[in-house]
Amino acid sequence: MSTLTRWTSTHAGSTATELHHGALLATALEYANRGWHVFPLIPGSKRPATPRHAATDCDHTDPWCRGGHTGWEQRATTDPDRITRAWTAAPYGVGIACGPSGLLVIDTDTPKPGAALPPVERVGNATSGEGVLIALAEDCGDPDGMPETWTVDTPSGGVHRYYTTAHLAESLGNSAGRLGPWIDTRGNGGYVVAPPTVTDAGRYLVGIDTPPAPLPAWLVQLLTTRPAAPSSVAEPRPVAHRSAYLRAVLTKEAEHVREATEGGRNHGLFAAACCLGELIAGGSLTEADAAATLLDACAGHIAAEAFTEAEAWQTIRSGFRRGATKPRTAA
């Protein structure tokens, strides 16, 4: 597989803006040539340019939605004609839909200014997602550490590592903090912002320009291992009594929702709702308390128009229903 083609122009009258617009189109076409499904992002933003309406507001007049609401993942494409039409119309940023592209992207970040650091036992001496990831590789006994793969440097000082998933029997979705602090993953239902996109935070740049490597087996295991089911079910405690464990679960799930990033917010909310739905079904938590906790946690995402309150409610209810199939009680 060839490395990423760099776009250039010999037109003497090209301005910096025109050059960047041309680079976005040419690079989107190059990603499509790799088999990566791309879609346009609002210029200067990380948000998808289409659809321009939420699922709850869909009136099916959009040609893409005549058979039902169609989101950015379904609209992502490798069709060069569609890509050319889209990026000729405006200098859109480039988003890559990870699931359809057969990719799992590991997103390592740096601590936000003023944010509380996680417990020492979770990070050791690491002070960033990169440090945590390296420590994970060592702990899992991988003699080669993190294999070289295609990487992107993000404006926040983080790194996106692209890995292929064609060799996996089971598809992988998104995760937030599952591998450790400051580490998220993007798979089915998630996307990443790709170079040479520029947002208000800065420019996304290619870090290592080499074909993506297969996702290492030890990472697959960490991302697919499920906690063991309890051997017995204890009598439910009264809902009015919140144990330290229950308070910790509510705090942790709310934190996961608040810290979910672009492309993984809805999945993070759903995963948190599933977790709390198990406790609701087990009698340790009321649905009203769980819903209030989750809605408060995603208030920032609603304000940023990542989704509407109605969409958040729909995701929460779906998570509660899924969680109810595995009832458990708070210790």
First to last CA, the chain: 52
Give the pair of three-digit tokens for residue 115: 């944010």
For position 317, what pLDDT does the model report?
84
Per DSSP (E only), the strands in the chain are 37-41, 93-97, 103-108, 151-153, 159-164, 175-176, 183-186, 191-194, 198-199, 202-203, 205-208, 213-214
* Mean of all residue pLDDT scores within the chain: 81
Helix (H, G, I), strand (E, B) or coil at 275: helix
For position 2, what pLDDT does the model report?
43
Cα–Cα distance between 262 and 273 in angstroms, integer?
18
Identity (one letter) of the amino acid at 14? S
Please compute the mean of the pLDDT values over residues 226-237 and round it to a whole number. Answer: 41
317: closest CA among 255, 268, 270, 267? 270
Cα–Cα distance between 197 and 25 in angstroms, integer?
11
| Contact (Cβ atoms closer than 8 angstroms) between residue 275 and residue 253 | yes
6 or 211, greater pLDDT: 211
pLDDT band at 174 (very low <50, low <70, confident <90, very high): confident
* Domain ranges across the chain: 103-185+212-224, 244-323
pLDDT of residue 123 exceeding 60, the answer is no
**What's the farthest any 2 CA atoms get from each other in the chain?**
77
For position 179, what pLDDT does the model report?
83
Least confident range from 153-162, 198-207, 308-317: namely: 308-317
Give the pair of three-digit tokens for residue 135: 């420590």
47 or 8, greater pLDDT: 47
Please tell me the pTM assigned to this model. 0.67
Orientation of helix 244-259 relative to helix 287-297, angle to 10°: 40
Q: What share of the chain is helix, strand, coil (3-state, %, to 5)?
A: 40, 15, 50
